[in-house]
Amino acid sequence: MRGLQHLNPTPHQEEVGRVNIIGRGAMAKGTLLRQVKCALFAGIAMELVLGSPASAQDVPAKADGKQSNNSDASNEAIIVTGSRIKRRDYVTASPLVTVGEDILQGSGKTNVDEALALLPQFNGVGNGASIAAFPGPKAINLRGLGEIRSLPLLDGRRLPPSTIVGFTPGITDISFIPNAVISNIEVISGGASAVYGADAVAGVVNIKTRDDFNGVEVSFDYGIAEVGDGENVDLSLLYGGDFGPDKRGHIMLAGSYTRRGEVAQFPARPYLNRPTTPLYGSANVIGGSPFSQSAIDQVFGSYGFAPGTVPATTNIGINPDGTLFAGVGGTNLDTTGLDGYYSIVNGAVVAGFPSNQFALSKTDKYSAFVKADYELTDNVTVYAQGIYTKAKEIRGQAVNTTALIASVPVTNPFIPTDLQTLLASRSNPDANFTLFNSFIDLPTDWGSETQTWQAVGGLRGTFDFADINWDIYYSHTSIDFANQYFGYINTKRRLALINAPDGGASICEGGLNMFSYQHVSQECADYLTTDAEDMTKSRQDVVEATVGGKLFPIGLGASPMRFALTGTWRKNGMSYTPSDEVANGIIQVPIGGQAVPYRTVTVKEIAGELLIPVLQDVPFARSLNINLGGRYSDYSTAGGVETYRVEADYRPVDSVMLRGGYERAVRAGSFSELFLPPSYTQSQFLPTPPVGGDPCSIDTNANAAGGNALRQLCIATGVPSSYYDGSVALPNYLPYTTQGNGTVQPEKADTVTLGLVFQPDFGPNWVRNFNATIDFYSIKIKGLISRPTASDVVTSCYNVDGKSNPGYDPNDINCQQISRDSSGLLSNVIVVPQNIGALKTKGIDVQIDWKVDLGPGKLRVGTYMNFLLEFAFQRSAGLPFVDYAGLSADNFLGIFGDHHPRFKATTNVGYNINGFDAFMIWRHVSGMQDLTQVTSPSSPLPDTASYDVFDVHASYQINDTFTVRGGITNVFDRKPNFLGDVQGLTSFRLYDPIGRAYSMGVTATF
């Protein structure tokens, strides 16, 4: 008969330093499983931060903190994430967080990626887009070191990257795993390359699937935001049963459907309306001198404004009636019929998002899962596992900001009369002029479709003659990811309409009036817009063999040493195939570029671990263990690299354990960093002047501070001296191109951890039920593979922060990546990954948990806290480190550029009585200074306040079959903070954009 595979230990039996966010309980069959599930069903906060399961008090423990001999499983060795060595004592020297299968039900989240984002050691979970949840893969970001430095595993096996282009190319999706089959999730946040290989610089998230479930389980959850959107549905069916002679086999089948409804941005949530788009119809001259002051005074005088009210250097915008307004100050601005999209930020007129764009994308996901094993003999088991998921997302319609900039001839018949007057006042009145224009009446849509399947087959077993275990498997994973674009502007056709003598009326009905807010007829809309898609294919094949077990004792009174040896062959292949419109730049999509032919990277690895029990049950040492590990990896691209680690745990008495470790981690370049051909991403905008903007523009703080040195640099990099000296305001429009770099070398990281665990084994139960850990971590990455943002390249070249290019040298590496057109406008910025600079971060994790009998039930309090001591970035060798801890970065640092609050905490208070469990979750994020404290210390933006949000949940076990639950998230309807006090500028990684929401669910187990 098949025995229990896992047991939940008591607080003294927990993996030392392991934070059990929510425990599933013993994986027994039948009634025991149902009883444990119902007892633990309270949700994520019930076990938040080392919370031992409700059933733990029923499992006796020895004084040494090991499982008592009350079942056959008590002597079964297990593998805990962070090591491949099987151990019977549940001890790990690495800080470990465990999240159980009920996390989704307890947290009100429908996807595992969203639920993990609640943990303080994550800088959110997403796809590199910090402002909105764009369609595409959802990845993990441990310690804020970037999604590509955090390694996700499924049952201890690597998952392949999902993208080669995107906001953060090379990330690995974790959202395809169906919720119904998750047993628990183990998180090591501090490096694990020696055990699992490259990419584990920041740590590992191991998603473990359920084992040995017998019966049928049906689960349904529903949630909705108070404003009526964000409707979430999660429906799953799970079957498990034994088969074969003596029930030597077991199979588990699951199917699930998950839907996350769209979360509207505006008007449902007007506080999310972020005015960042430049002026609709804002005009700038190309060539020659700016408008004459006399012409400006004449036009604006006709509106009733005194001469000199609007300076000649100001960008000019066009009202719906054809009159003009000043882009700075908003003189004569008329927003009639524009639904409040215009705002004035830092004195500049900007526009926000339309009413039908989603703050969070709409998702539909279908999943199927099968897992089976069969004991061929008492020592050999064959196993297989398969998963298939199809997911579709849609972002919602947005302002068509593609092809914003246009060169318009003065012969265009739609030019308003007052603008003609200004154009005629230029020194070269016949020159084309630049027009910035968003197609407010032609919104775009952007979605994605992902199909993922994985098959695993292998053998595992033991040897009769020794305490040795072995495992060998083959896995294949296939991911097809398509971006789908709807209604994007065809730039060639737009140019034909603009340049036509009749404005395009001979091409389609009415032609194209770029100066109107209702641009075109339906015929012209059909002519002007194009649908397209691209396809990324990712494939991974892995063969891996592991052998491990007992050796011989060498320490004083200690147990035998244990070892694990692993050999791995892995091949990853990827390709990117865009449609012709995307590849040739005919439409400018958010993510896109030229085709990437199918390329492969092969890795051969060998790794070893050795656990050395040095002391055991001797004076002043209940135990002392040392764990050594090393790995050699041979990449077909980067050659051979080594990683290694040494860890130790020391328990002087039963109640106290000291632990610490050092690891050298290595990350080789991703597919995108190595192979991406020149590819464009939709142009971005520099922050609004005067704080932001083109540093060479007269209306910016950078220009005022740079003096003659900045003038010389601007002229050397392509700004005409006549423009600079004529005080012309340049737009903050910023097109850029990304591409790979096959010469980048693997980056290296050194991780140090030191910790203390306190679990008293003395006194009454209210003392024994107190648990606390404190862990210090330090991670330093050298030879950093960094792809800065385009705005970072620009601001660094022009020394906006006073440190990046102090000599204002036009040969600076950043300046060499910048191109301008003949009028001085930024025309392109080349962004390539390089081994430049370094990154280091330090912090302290604190975890406290306490339970006490109170009246007829049990009260529990738990908290997990992160104190960020340092997050320092060195842009290139020789430059000083700049510490961004405590700052809101707004993607300034690219992949590191989210926000870094000094303190984050998640706390729960709960009470359990007679099958009823109620609890509250409190999430706190400390306040932050704005990034401009570093980049523009003389004129910084306001600080961001601290943030607190509260959730309440409850569950009730009706009987052995049914459990019901419900909850309210964001009880007080706390709105997200605005970063730098800028309207709509927030972080969905830190703050809740949805508002108050309700959830309910039921599970039936038969």
Each residue's pLDDT tens digit, 378-435 = 999 999 999 999 999 887 666 665 556 778 899 999 999 999 999 999 888 888 887 8
Determine the Cα–Cα distance for residues 738 and 677; give it in Å rounded to an integer.
8
Structure tokens at 340: 């409040």
Which stretches does DSSP call E strand in 210-318? Answer: 215-225, 232-243, 249-260, 263-264, 282-285, 316-318
Q: Which of 428-432, 680-684, 863-867 has the highest mean pLDDT?
A: 863-867
* Residues 904/871, Cβ–Cβ less than 8 Å: no
Pairs from 806-812 (Cβ < 8 Å, separation ≥ 24): 808/706, 808/709, 808/710, 808/712, 808/713, 809/713, 810/713, 810/716, 810/717
Structure tokens at 491: 């730039």
Structure tokens at 512: 């194209």
Q: Is the pLDDT of residue 22 over 70?
A: no
Cβ neighbours for 510, distance < 8 A, ≥ 6 positions apart? 520, 521, 523, 524
pLDDT of residue 71: 35
Structure tokens at 903: 């303190």
Determine the Cα–Cα distance for residues 210 and 236; give it in Å rounded to an integer.
14
Cβ neighbours for 283, distance < 8 A, ≥ 6 positions apart? 315, 316, 317, 318, 419, 422, 433, 434, 435, 436
pLDDT of residue 124: 63
Q: Is the pLDDT of residue 322 over 80?
A: yes
Question: Regarding predicted confidence, which is higher, 455 or 438?
Answer: 455
pLDDT of residue 106: 60
Q: Is the pLDDT of residue 785 over 50?
A: yes
* Residues 931/882, Cβ–Cβ less than 8 Å: no
Q: Is the pLDDT of residue 345 over 90?
A: no
Cβ neighbours for 582, distance < 8 A, ≥ 6 positions apart? 485, 532, 533, 534, 589, 592, 593
**Which residue type occupies 142?**
L
pLDDT of residue 544: 96
| Residue 749 dihedral angles phi and psi, to the nearest 5° | -130, 140
Q: Is the pLDDT of residue 488 over 60?
A: yes
Q: What value does the mean pLDDT take over residues 555-563?
A: 84
| Residue 116 dihedral angles phi and psi, to the nearest 5° | -65, -30
Q: Is the pLDDT of residue 39 over 80?
A: no
Total Cβ atoms within 10 A of residue 306: 9
pLDDT band for position 962 (cuts 50, 70, 90): very high
Question: Regarding predicted confidence, which is higher, 990 or 678?
Answer: 990
pLDDT band for position 5 (cuts 50, 70, 90): very low
pLDDT of residue 939: 73
Structure tokens at 881: 């480190």
Q: Is the pLDDT of residue 10 over 70?
A: no
Q: What value does the mean pLDDT take over residues 775-792?
A: 87
215 torsion bin: left (phi>0), alpha (psi -120 to 50), beta (else)? left
**Which residue type occupies 715?**
I
pLDDT of residue 566: 95
Full DSSP string of 129-149: -SSSB-SS--EEEETTS-GGG
* Residues 586/492, Cβ–Cβ less than 8 Å: yes
The H or E element containing residue 961 is none
Q: What value does the mean pLDDT take over residues 822-835?
A: 83
Mean of pLDDT over the chain: 80
- Dihedral of alpha carbons 319, 323, 326, 331, sign: negative
pLDDT of residue 15: 39
Determine the Cα–Cα distance for residues 185 and 119; give it in Å rounded to an integer.
12
pLDDT of residue 346: 62
Q: Is the pLDDT of residue 57 over 70?
A: no
For residue 474, give the nearest of 541, 540, 539, 538 by alpha carbon: 541
Distances (CA, A) of 137 to 168, 233, 296, 847: 10, 20, 50, 31
For residue range 263-277, list pLDDT tens digits in order: 877 667 877 766 554
Determine the Cα–Cα distance for residues 676 and 166; give it in Å rounded to an integer.
11
**DSSP label of 549:** E
For residue 84, give the nearest of 94, 97, 75, 74 by alpha carbon: 94
pLDDT band for position 788 (cuts 50, 70, 90): confident
Q: What value does the mean pLDDT take over residues 174-178?
A: 83
Is 833 exposed, middle or buried (CB count within 10 Å of its CB: 0-12, 13-18, 19+)? Answer: buried
Beta-bridged to residue 987, according to DSSP, are none
Question: Regarding predicted confidence, which is higher, 777 or 133?
Answer: 777
Q: What value does the mean pLDDT take over residues 93-110?
A: 65
Structure tokens at 212: 């040995």
Report the interhelical angle of 293-301 vs 417-424 (nearest 10°). 160
Q: Is the pLDDT of residue 857 over 60?
A: yes
For residue 144, give the nearest of 201, 92, 182, 187 by alpha carbon: 201
pLDDT of residue 91: 53
Number of residues that this document lists for the chain:
1006
Q: How large a percentage of the chain has pLDDT more than 90?
A: 36
Q: What value does the mean pLDDT take over residues 278-302?
A: 69
For residue 352, give the nearest of 942, 944, 985 by alpha carbon: 985
401 torsion bin: left (phi>0), alpha (psi -120 to 50), beta (else)? alpha
Q: Is the pLDDT of residue 104 over 60?
A: no
pLDDT band for position 2 (cuts 50, 70, 90): very low
pLDDT band for position 930 (cuts 50, 70, 90): confident
Prior bond to 267 cis, omega within 30? yes
Q: Which of 271-285, 508-522, 772-786, 792-806 has the highest mean pLDDT?
A: 772-786
Q: What Rg do the C-alpha atoms of the chain give, in angstroms?
A: 30
pLDDT band for position 181 (cuts 50, 70, 90): confident
pLDDT of residue 20: 41
Cβ neighbours for 270, distance < 8 A, ≥ 6 positions apart? none
pLDDT of residue 100: 60
For residue range 989-1000, list pLDDT tens digits in order: 788 888 999 999
Cα 15 to chain centroid distance, Å, stands at: 28
Determine the Cα–Cα distance for residues 291 and 483; give it in Å rounded to an integer.
43
* Residues 524/508, Cβ–Cβ less than 8 Å: yes
Q: Is the pLDDT of residue 50 over 50?
A: no
pLDDT of residue 585: 78
pLDDT of residue 680: 62
3-state secondary structure (DSSP) of residue 151: strand
Prior bond to 9 cis, omega within 30? no
For residue range 964-1004, list pLDDT tens digits in order: 999 999 999 999 888 877 767 778 778 888 899 999 999 99
Cβ neighbours for 867, distance < 8 A, ≥ 6 positions apart? 843, 844, 845, 846, 902, 903
Question: Regarding predicted confidence, which is higher, 180 or 537?
Answer: 537
Question: Regarding predicted confidence, which is higher, 396 or 257?
Answer: 257
pLDDT of residue 117: 76
pLDDT band for position 48 (cuts 50, 70, 90): very low
The least confident of 59-73, 144-158, 559-573, 812-826 is 59-73
Per DSSP, helices labelled H in 112-205 are 112-116, 193-196
Cα 608 to chain centroid distance, Å, stands at: 32
